[in-house]
């Protein structure tokens, strides 16, 4: 029913943000990403105003209720315990504020924090909060609350790993805390723009500690929690005392999870909601150029690396443990054909993790489509081991079913004996973790900072088949390990770029992933919804407009 | 009658116990466990061991079962591992949605099937009968996940008569509630209409050939009186039995329809819980639904004894 597949934001992508937070906290400086971004991704506009899609023009109009159709439901609002995926972050943007935020130029800028500065070795960081900010229950935002936030996040099984490098968070003043790290980390602030950086009220901590596993949300955000009926709707009303003067413009926001893409689109068309998110490229096709709708997508304007759709190959089991087989599979897979079906004709050929407008982009040596060469490699393998048989796993999704059938055909033509198996997503993830697969469809990796993916590629997380391992393909490559650590620790932009380019090349050489295409997020709104992809940060800089399907509701208004 | 009902009640108790064991065991037979969903990228061996202990999933299955059953007897079906909502609360908020959907769909099914069967059975194999039979045969082949998008495309997006998705509780706005419910109810009822119509038509045609109908006609009774007072009741046994059996497929239908129409019923909650290996939610909802199904069958058996007292004697 859901149009999310592979490792969905609901399951691993989102948690990758949390776990990746560990990596982000230990990661590279956000400033190095400055050159990664371009303007907001936008494919079309037919807005009445004639403006760029998602960018408001004229004088903001206060008032009104915005209804948004989301891809999925959240499982709760308590950052230490709940999983925030694309939809989860949209909920969070309504109720909470992050300490730091990503600017449109890729740098990490203060949000609730007034400043966050390192010592000379970047292993202690002093964070000063903005003064006179209150939570929506009337309590003050103080350094003590922030330190208590840290304690709750650090103690959590979910978010604790994201903070492994942070040894302590000590209150040094009414609005000042000192983060002490176990080692240098020039990119520490990037982690504070993720789930572990969203600040929640002391009342939530107290409720949780007294046995309420689902505490009522208390934040400093632009809206105040009103009601939540899971799987039906969430409503929040304007925070009249919001610390960012004049914001928000909306009186109320309602979020409605509608799992089915077509139904979500129909609900938009019938006026049930004003905006919808989608991961189906056909949504762009269906609304592009249609009168009265605006479309913003992630085809351009990606900061860092986009989410990628790929075939994952297990390098620890036969026959995919043989590099010749992985090369043959790559060479016999026509990316262009797959993109026609799966990408709706929007996506470009890819050779790795990064898009051409990224500074990390380079030639990678990823095998080109060459079925004749693939046949030779298969013949070479066959002479030693017999016909290579392969099970291709995927989940029950009609679009993916088409894709895997085409791939099965391509691989069969060069000598593979391929069977397709469609299984439930939870089972697929279980198989990934335990290494019980040969080849499988998936999507993953979207990250502002490539370092966030350390956990998926590290030699330290590549266990044997049967054991729990987060390096799902079990690709234990010391060159990748070394360069990921270099990218994490260096303060030199050129060194970092070189390190991630090397990682990209190594992945093209090892072939644990056969790249299919960029995974596309899009947001469609009626023309009366203004300024939903044009956030401004408290310091006046432009914010990251459309971070993998996430938008900020703070500065949205509805035209008359 | 009393002995019959006691025997049926005892059967109900035994069946409920068997259901509770099966539900518990089947859920635990599913590959994977909730730690994958809860921990995500933090799914390390150490974290998993801690969480399994916290959730009590490290205990032997029989021990987990007795704990769960004991709590269930005390009205505590546990809480979701993921959003920490109590299962009884999920049932309390979701069951009215699903129940309303099922009831409304059955009202619609009977409202269409019974009058239509009464009309066409008087003159079988005529044009109206042939059209009705063919149409309902087609409806029988259309599952809710096919009917729903068609209804939305025509009546929501095309004509704008109904919303594409959404649900407003009856106590908030009865009119909006019914309005929102119509498309989902029609989507789920298409198959029921076909089954009820065809069964009743067939039984009515057979009944209308009986001697007592000829006698009624010879007395000069009106056709309406003959159909409703004399032919309908003896022809409705199959209909009643089918309605009882159909409850199971209707419940399954709500799983699909609730997801498609974004309705917060127990069907949607159950589907999500299965996907997320949220054991207690799956167990709680499955148990309550299964027992409800058995109880409904018991009630239908009871109604049979009133409609046809021969059932007790047999």
Give the whole-number percent of chain B exceeding pLDDT 90: 19
Q: Touching check for A460 and chain B: CB below 8 Å?
A: no
Total Cβ atoms within 10 A of residue B99: 14
For chain B, the 3-state helix, strand and coil shares in percent, each to the nearest 5, are: 80, 0, 20
Q: 3-state DSSP call for residue A357?
A: coil
* pLDDT at B90 (0 to 100): 92
Angle, helices B266-275 vs B279-307, to 10°: value is: 140
Which of A76, A272, A467 is facing B165, going by the closest CB pair?
Answer: A272
Q: Touching check for A436 and chain B: CB below 8 Å?
A: no
Question: What ipTM describes this predicted complex?
Answer: 0.73
Chain A partners within 8 Å of B275 (Cβ):
424-426
User: What predicted TM-score, i.e. pTM, was given to this entire model?
Assistant: 0.81
Task: Give the burial class of A422: count Cβ atoms within 10 A of its Cβ; 0-12 exposed, 13-18 middle, 19 or more buried.
Answer: middle
* pLDDT at B104 (0 to 100): 93
d(CA A393, CA A6): 10
Is residue A30 within 8 A of residue A189, CB to CB? The reply is yes
Chain B partners within 8 Å of A424 (Cβ):
275
Sheet holding A513-518, edge to edge: A417-423, A389-395, A439-444, A308-313, A513-518
Which of A73, A163, A232, A446 has the most B C-beta neighbours within 10 Å, making it the best mutation to test the interface with B? Answer: A232
Write the CB contacts of B225 (distance below 8 Å, at least 6 apart in sequence). B216
Is residue A304 within 8 A of residue A538, CB to CB? The reply is no
Give yes or no for residue A488 having a pLDDT over 60.
yes
d(CA A312, CA A329): 11
Is residue A53 within 8 A of residue A533, CB to CB? The reply is yes
Distances (CA, A) of A559 to A63, A65, A250, A469, A533: 10, 11, 11, 50, 15
Closest alpha carbon to A301 in A553, A504, A102, A47: A102
Give yes or no for residue B157 having a pLDDT over 60.
yes
* pLDDT at A110 (0 to 100): 97
Q: 3-state DSSP call for residue A98?
A: strand
Q: Which two tokens stand for residue B55?
A: 């959730």
Q: What is the DSSP string of B39-79?
A: HGGG--HHHHHHHHHHHTTTS-HHHHHHHHHHHHHTT---B
Q: Which residue has the higher pLDDT, B68 or A7?
A: B68
Show which of residues 79-108 on chain A sit within 8 Å of chain B, judged by CB atoms: 81-83
* A86 Cα to chain B: minimum distance (Å): 15
Task: Give the best-scoring range by mean pLDDT among A20-34, A141-155, A393-407, B297-311.
Answer: A141-155
Distances (CA, A) of B62 to B51, B67, B290: 19, 9, 21
Which of B40, B154, B282 has the most A C-beta neighbours within 10 Å, making it the best mutation to test the interface with A? Answer: B40
Give yes or no for residue A59 having a pLDDT over 50.
yes
Distance of CA B32 to the CA centre of its chain: 29
Task: Give the burial class of A236: count Cβ atoms within 10 A of its Cβ; 0-12 exposed, 13-18 middle, 19 or more buried.
Answer: buried
For A30-44, what is each residue's pLDDT tens digit? Answer: 333 333 333 334 444
Write the CB contacts of A542 (distance below 8 Å, at least 6 apart in sequence). A103, A104, A105, A534, A535, A536
Q: What number is the average pLDDT over the span A497-510?
A: 96
Is residue A115 within 8 A of residue A179, CB to CB? The reply is no
Three-state SS for A376-435 is HHHHHHHHHHCCCEEEEEEECCHHHHHHHHHHHHHHHHCCCEEEEEEECHHHHHHHHHHC
d(CA A70, CA B134): 40
User: B86-95, B98-107, B255-264: which has the minimum mean pLDDT?
Assistant: B255-264
Q: Share the mean pLDDT of chain B.
A: 86
* DSSP-derived pairing of the beta strands A65-70 and A252-257: parallel
DSSP at A300: S
* B28 Cα to chain A: minimum distance (Å): 13
Q: Which two tokens stand for residue A264?
A: 């979500």
Chain A partners within 8 Å of B259 (Cβ):
1, 259-260
For A426-468, what is each residue's pLDDT tens digit? Answer: 678 778 888 889 999 988 888 878 887 888 899 988 989 988 7
Total Cβ atoms within 10 A of residue A268: 27
* pLDDT at A225 (0 to 100): 97
* A425 Cα to chain B: minimum distance (Å): 7
Show which of residues 324-383 on chain A sit within 8 Å of chain B, judged by CB atoms: none
* B161 Cα to chain A: minimum distance (Å): 9
Question: Please, which pLDDT band fits residue A12 given cuts at 50, 70 and 90?
Answer: very low
* pLDDT at A460 (0 to 100): 87
Give the whole-number percent of chain A exceeding pLDDT 70: 91
User: A77-91, A95-109, A202-216, A337-351: which has the minimum mean pLDDT?
Assistant: A337-351
Closest alpha carbon to A87 in A66, A73, A101: A73
Which of B39, B79, B272 is facing A157, going by the closest CB pair?
Answer: B39
Distance of CA A226 to the CA centre of its chain: 27
Q: Share the mean pLDDT of chain A.
A: 87
Give yes or no for residue B144 having a pLDDT over 60.
yes
Closest alpha carbon to B167 in A47, A258, A274, A493: A258
């Amino acid at each position: 029913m859901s149009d999310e597949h592979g490792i969905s934001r609901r399951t691993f992508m989102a948690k990758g943000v949390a776990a990746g937070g560990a990596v982000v906290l230990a990661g590279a400086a956000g400033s190095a990403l400055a050159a990664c971004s371009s303007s907001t991704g936008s494919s079309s506009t037919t807005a009445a105003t004639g403006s760029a899609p998602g960018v408001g023009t004229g004088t903001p109009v206060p008032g009104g209720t915005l209804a948004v159709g989301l891809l999925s439901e959240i499982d709760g609002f308590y950052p230490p315990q709940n999983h925030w995926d694309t939809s989860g972050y949209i909920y969070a943007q309504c109720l909470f504020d992050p300490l730091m935020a990503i600017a449109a130029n890729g740098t990490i800028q203060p949000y609730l924090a007034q400043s966050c500065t390192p010592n000379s070795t970047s292993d202690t960081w002093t964070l000063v909060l903005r003064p006179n900010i209150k939570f929506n229950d009337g309590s003050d935002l103080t350094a003590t609350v922030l330190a208590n936030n840290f304690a709750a996040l650090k103690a959590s099984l979910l978010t604790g790993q994201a903070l492994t490098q942070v040894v302590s968070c000590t209150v040094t003043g009414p609005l000042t805390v000192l983060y002490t790290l176990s080692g240098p980390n020039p990119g520490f602030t990037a982690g504070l723009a993720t789930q572990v950086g969203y600040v929640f009220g002391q009342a939530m901590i107290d409720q949780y500690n007294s046995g309420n596993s689902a505490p009522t949300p208390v934040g400093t955000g632009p809206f105040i929690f009103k009601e939540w009926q899971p799987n039906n709707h969430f409503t929040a009303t304007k925070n009249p005392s919001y610390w960012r003067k004049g914001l928000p413009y909306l009186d109320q926001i309602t979020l409605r999870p509608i799992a089915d893409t077509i139904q979500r689109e129909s609900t938009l068309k019938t006026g049930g909601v004003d905006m919808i998110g989608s991961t189906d490229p056909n949504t762009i096709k269906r609304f592009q150029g249609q009168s009265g709708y605006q479309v913003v997508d992630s085809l351009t304007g990606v900061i860092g690396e986009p989410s990628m759709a790929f075939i994952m190959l297990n390098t620890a089991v036969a026959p995919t443990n043989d590099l010749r087989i992985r090369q043959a599979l790559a060479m016999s897979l026509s990316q262009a054909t797959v993109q026609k079906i799966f990408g709706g004709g929007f996506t470009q050929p890819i050779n790795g993790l990064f898009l051409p407008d990224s500074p990390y982009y380079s030639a990678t040596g990823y095998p080109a489509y060459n079925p004749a060469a693939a046949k030779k490699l298969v013949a070479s393998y066959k002479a030693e081991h017999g016909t290579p048989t392969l099970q291709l796993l995927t989940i029950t999704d009609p679009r993916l079913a088409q894709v895997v059938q085409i791939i099965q055909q391509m691989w069969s033509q060069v000598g593979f004996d391929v069977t397709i198996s469609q299984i439930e997503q939870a089972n697929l993830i279980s198989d990934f973790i335990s290494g019980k697969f040969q080849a499988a469809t998936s999507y993953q990796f979207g990250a502002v900072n490539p370092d966030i993916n350390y956990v998926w590629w590290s030699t330290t997380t590549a266990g044997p088949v049967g054991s729990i391992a987060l390096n799902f393909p079990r690709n234990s490559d010391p060159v990748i390990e070394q360069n990921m650590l270099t990218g994490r620790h260096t303060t030199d932009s050129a060194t970092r770029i070189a390190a991630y380019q090397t990682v990209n090349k190594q992945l093209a050489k090892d072939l644990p992933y056969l790249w299919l295409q960029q995974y596309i997020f899009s947001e469609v709104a009626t023309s009366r919804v203004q300024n939903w992809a044009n956030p401004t940060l408290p310091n006046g800089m432009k914010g990251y407009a459309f971070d993998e399907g996430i938008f900020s509701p703070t500065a949205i208004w509805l035209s008359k | 009658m009393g002995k019959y009902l006691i025997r049926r009640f005892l059967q109900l108790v035994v069946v409920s116990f068997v259901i509770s064991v099966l539900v518990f065991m089947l859920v635990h037979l599913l590959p994977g466990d909730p730690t994958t969903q809860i921990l995500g990228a933090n799914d390390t061996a150490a974290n998993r061991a801690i969480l399994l202990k916290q959730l009590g999933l490290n205990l032997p299955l029989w021990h987990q079962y007795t704990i769960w059953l004991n709590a269930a007897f005390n009205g505590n079906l546990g809480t979701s591992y993921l959003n920490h909502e109590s299962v009884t609360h999920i049932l309390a908020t979701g069951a009215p949605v699903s129940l309303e959907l099922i009831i409304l769909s059955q009202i619609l099914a009977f409202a269409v099937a019974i009058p239509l069967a009464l009309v066409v059975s008087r003159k079988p194999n005529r044009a109206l009968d042939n059209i009705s039979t063919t149409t309902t045969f087609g409806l029988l082949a259309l599952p809710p996940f096919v009917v729903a998008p068609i209804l939305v495309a025509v009546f929501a997006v095309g004509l704008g008569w109904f919303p594409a998705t959404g649900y407003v509780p009856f106590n908030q706005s009865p009119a909006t509630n019914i309005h929102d419910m119509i498309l989902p109810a029609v989507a789920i009822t298409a198959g029921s209409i076909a089954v009820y119509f065809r069964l009743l038509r067939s039984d009515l045609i057979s009944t209308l050939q009986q001697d007592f109908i000829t006698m009624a006609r010879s007395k000069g009774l009106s056709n309406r009186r003959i159909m409703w007072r004399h032919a309908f009741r003896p022809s409705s046994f199959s209909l009643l039995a089918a309605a009882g059996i159909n409850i199971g497929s209707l419940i399954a239908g709500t799983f699909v329809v609730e997801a498609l129409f974004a309705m917060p019923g127990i069907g949607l909650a159950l589907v999500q819980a299965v996907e997320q290996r949220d054991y207690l939610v799956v167990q709680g909802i499955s148990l309550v639904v299964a027992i409800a199904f058995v109880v409904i069958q018991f009630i239908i058996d009871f109604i049979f004894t009133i409609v046809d007292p021969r059932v007790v004697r047999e």
